[in-house]
Structures are given as C-alpha cells and as structure tokens.
Amino acid sequence: MKKQFILLSTILLLSFGFNSKPLPTSLKVTVIDNLGNFVEGADVTLFKSEDDYRNETNPVAGPIKTDAKGRVKFKDIEAISYYIHAVKGDKTNIGGGTQTAPLNSGRLNKVNTVIQ
C-alpha cells in the first residue's frame, strides 16, 4: 500500500508539478454604453503607453470587434497596465475608462469601458 502511494504521488508530481506551463495572461474587455447596455461591433485596441494611445500608433493588439455581449478577449499578453481604445461610429471611450490596472499574471483579467 505504501509503495502504491509513493508511486501515485510521483506520477502526480511529474504530471502536474514539473511539466506544468504557466497560464497565459489575458484580458476580457466589455464595452458598454452610458446606460449600461452592451455595445456590439465596437473596435477595441490595446496600447502600452499613453502616447501610443493618444496617437493611435503601435498597438499591442487589435482592433478586435466586440461580440453581441460587448466583449473581446486579448490572449497571451504581458501582465502590465494597458490603454484601451474602443470606438463605434462617432462614440469612443475617451473619459469612460481608458487605462487598466496592472494585469494579474497567468489569469483572465476583466474590465469594462464605457463609450459615449
């Protein structure tokens, strides 16, 4: 019984301990309007710096269009703070949540941004 336990413990360690890769960092952005409704079809782009955000140059990712629930997901990104640019027609998120907090590494981070 003791040998079986040791063998099982060793297998589990090899399966989950040594061979596990860190989970990727990702960000789910939900775009809403000033009434709290989801905005489908908005273009969402991520930028690393405020200058890039303001000039709309050197995007990290995007633009990606939001789905019916106003969501987009950016996968395998750095765990840093990002500037989010969301636009649909003449509406943007300027003044409605443009910078994220530093993202948690190896997790799905979630933020909302408001376009008006």
| H helix runs in the chain, sequence order | 2-12, 50-55
HSE-up (13 A, CA, CB side) for residue 57: 3
Residue 17 lies in a domain: no
Give the CATH number, domain containing residue 69: 2.60.40.10
Q: What is the pLDDT of residue 91?
A: 96
Q: What is the pLDDT of residue 19?
A: 53
Q: What is the pLDDT of residue 9?
A: 54
Count of the separate structural domains present in the chain? 1
Q: What is the pLDDT of residue 17?
A: 54
Choose among 41, 29, 20: nearest CA to 98. 29
Q: What is the pLDDT of residue 39?
A: 98
Residue 18 lies in a domain: no
Residue 44 lies in a domain: yes
Cα separation of 27 and 10, whole Å?
Answer: 35
Global pTM value:
0.79
Residue 16 lies in a domain: no
Residue 108 lies in a domain: yes
Mean pLDDT (10-residue bins), the chain, 116 residues? 53 56 90 96 96 93 97 96 97 87 96 95
Residue 6 lies in a domain: no
Q: What is the pLDDT of residue 43?
A: 98
Residue 4 lies in a domain: no
Whole domain around residue 62: which residue ranges? Answer: 23-115
Residue 14 lies in a domain: no
Q: What is the pLDDT of residue 97?
A: 73
Q: What is the pLDDT of residue 67?
A: 98
